[in-house]
Amino acid sequence: MRMAFRNLKKLPDKFRFIADGYSAYPLASQQFALREKNPLEFDITQVIGLSNDDEVSKQFRPFKQIVERLNRTFKASYRVTNGYNNYEGANYALSLWVAYYNFLRPHQVTCYKKPLNDVKFLSKADNMPGKWQLLIYLGQKTILHLQDNRSTESICS
């Protein structure tokens, strides 16, 4: 939550945080409201249990299930790695997984025909290794572009 909210000065209107029954979420909400700089006030809607026995569960379970499905998908690929030796390795692996999940993997939402974020440049490749190569190429171009802009800024300032 800290990372997701760190750059927000104000939450969107009608913001609602939907979570499971973990006790840390209401405590975190209190901490955000008590911050000196950019306090954020929001309510936590907790969906508890595995069945829709109450009105809150009936209304909000689908939102919780989306996040839980994403977590299960990530955990399934994480287990294969046997963990990480350091923070940088974890960051690197997570970045690759997010790229795969959002830009390469066909999604249920599209009837498994295309990824969530369809990038025309990636459609030039016929197979997954080719798509990875194009994605890495785009990443390298972005890094070089950012480096060029950084060196120009330091010269001009």
Average pLDDT of the chain is 84
What is the spatial distance between Cα 27 and Cα 11, in angstroms, rounded to a whole number? 18
Q: Is residue 32 included in any domain, yes or no?
A: yes
DSSP string, 46-111: E--SSS--SHHHHHHHHHHHHHHHHHHHHHHHHGGGT--SSHHHHHHHHHHHHHIIIIIS--GGGT
Query: pLDDT tens-digit profile of 13-41?
Result: 888 888 888 889 999 999 999 988 889 99
Structural domain harbouring 22: 1-64
- Determine the Cα–Cα distance for residues 54 and 122; give it in Å rounded to an integer: 45
Whether 118 is in a domain gets the answer: no
Q: What torsion do the CA atoms of 105, 109, 113, 116 make, to the nearest 10 degrees?
A: -50
Residue 97 lies in a domain: no
Does 134 map to a domain? no
Q: What is the pTM of this model?
A: 0.56
In a domain, 47, yes or no: yes
Higher pLDDT residue, 88 or 131? Answer: 131
For residue 44, being part of any structural domain is answered with yes
The first and second tokens of residue 34, run together, are 């008590």
The tally of domains found in the chain comes to: 1
Tell me whether residue 34 is in a domain: yes
* 60-94 confidence digits (pLDDT tens): 888 888 878 888 888 877 666 667 777 777 788 88
What value, to the nearest 5°, has the Cα angle with vertex 92 and ends 87 and 93? 100
Q: Specify if 38 maps to a domain.
A: yes
Give the mean pLDDT of 121-134. Answer: 90
pLDDT greater at residue 111 or residue 92: 111
